[in-house]
Amino acid sequence: MNHHKAASERAFRAVRPGRRIWIALAALAVAATPACQSSNAEVGADEQILVSVSIAAPSAAPVYLADVLGYFKEEGLNVQVKEIANASLQVATGQVKYGQVNTSTLLQSASQGIGLQAVCVTQIDPSYILAVSDAVWKQRGLTESMSLKEQLTALKGEQITAVGGRTTNPGAKLLQALLTKNGLPPDWIGVLSMAGSSQATAAFQNGQVGLIFQPQPQPDQVLSKVPGRILYNIGDSPLFAEMDNVPWSTIATSADFAKANPEVTTKVCNAIGRANDYLDDHPDQAAEQLKSLIPTDFEILKDSLPTYKWARDGRMSEADFFRGVDVLAAMDMFAEVTQDQIKTAYTSAYQK
């Protein structure tokens, strides 16, 4: 099957987030239009370039490493890395030049036509871990001899926490897919909306929820404080074989800014690609470089990094990216997106 053709011949659909979120986003985009026009101009040779990450976690490792290992500098770039939550609109309008954006957010933004464009890929093949507290394990009568389906069936009515809730959190969507693949309704396990990861961790620690469904290091961090055990990892499971080489997060910019600054954009992608490769080839050394930047116990961080997979050289063909979008669309990861919006949301033109 030609996945590129399939992706370009259909509109992808998913659960639409609350209207107020997107009405506010559209209003902000309109208000930011004048700033966008000036912020997307060609940058000077010595001008500082702001690159954002949403959270100081292993998912942001390529950006941090490209900075601390000097890859940005070796490309002749003056980069400042800054943690900015929910920066996609600021990136799309050129107020932040580049930012790490997950693919789900990228496609949600594309549905609004605000000009956000991914130019290279960071993480692929997401690895989410389902863990349960010992208290819930005992209450629900779980045993090691049970199949995964039997364990999930016994957990009816339990909850995970998710920043943003069921409709917008990628992890919540993956949980729904896991339940569906095991013949259970997608709401068999509930989703408790949280404002941030620290609140989500606290909810598990105080017994408000008995399950966690997160990438590392969150499961190991929580289980180091609250007794529990890991039930399932989608990264090791044939149930999610279709997630192989799916783009999970990207480096994005304004499409107008990339067009005005093709050399700068190529250099950013070069630096990110080198960082991706370093993470794959030298995870222990990468953990050493990142230990002062990611607030996680060092041993947990070191154990966490090998569970992440990174796009080699930061590259992904447009055909492979669109195939990944097809997979994510089937999991209802983003709002309705047209074929033209998908085509403009990603380009491999700056990957050399």
The vertex-123 CA angle with 122 and 128, nearest 5°, equals: 160
Are 334 and 12 contacting, i.e. CB atoms less than 8 angstroms apart?
A: yes
Are 194 and 110 contacting, i.e. CB atoms less than 8 angstroms apart?
A: no
Give the DSSP per-residue string, 154-185.
Answer: HTTT-EEEEET-TTT-HHHHHHHHHHHHTT--
Structure tokens at 245: 């080489």
Distance CA 201, CA 192 (A): 12
Given a cut of 50, whether residue 9 has pLDDT beyond it is: no
Distance CA 228, CA 230 (A): 7
| Mean pLDDT, range 48-70, rounded to an integer | 96
Q: Is 112 helix (H, G, I), strand (E, B) or coil?
A: coil
Least confident of 44-48, 102-106, 225-229, 269-273: 44-48
Give me the pLDDT at residue 20, please: 35
Least confident of 41-50, 101-110, 146-155: 41-50
Given a cut of 50, whether residue 201 has pLDDT beyond it is: yes
| Mean pLDDT, range 274-281, rounded to an integer | 98
Which of 63-80 are b and which e, b meaning 16 or more Cβ less than 10 Å from the residue's Cβ? bbbbbbbebbeebebebe
Please name the residue that has the structure tokens 């080699």.
312
**344: Cα within 13 Å, side-chain hemisphere:** 19
Mode of pairing for the β-strands spanning 249-254 and 116-121: antiparallel
Q: Where are the beta strands (DSSP E) in the chain?
A: 48-53, 78-83, 98-102, 116-121, 123-124, 129-133, 159-163, 190-194, 211-214, 228-233, 249-254, 309-310
| Mean pLDDT, range 245-255, rounded to an integer | 97
Residue 44's pLDDT band (cuts 50, 70, 90)? low
Nearest to 114 by CA among 95, 140, 133: 95
Give backbone dihedrals phi and psi of 222, rounded to 5 degrees, phi first.
-70, -45
pTM (2 d.p.) = 0.86
In the chain, what are the domains?
3-125+244-345 (3.40.190.10), 129-239 (3.40.190.10)
| Mean pLDDT, range 228-245, rounded to an integer | 94
| Mean pLDDT, range 107-122, rounded to an integer | 92
Residue 24's pLDDT band (cuts 50, 70, 90)? very low
- Percentage of the chain beyond pLDDT 90 is 70
Given a cut of 80, whether residue 195 has pLDDT beyond it is: no
Give me the pLDDT at residue 128, please: 95
Cis peptide before 283 (omega within 30 of 0): no
Structure tokens at 257: 């800014």
Q: Is 283 helix (H, G, I), strand (E, B) or coil?
A: helix
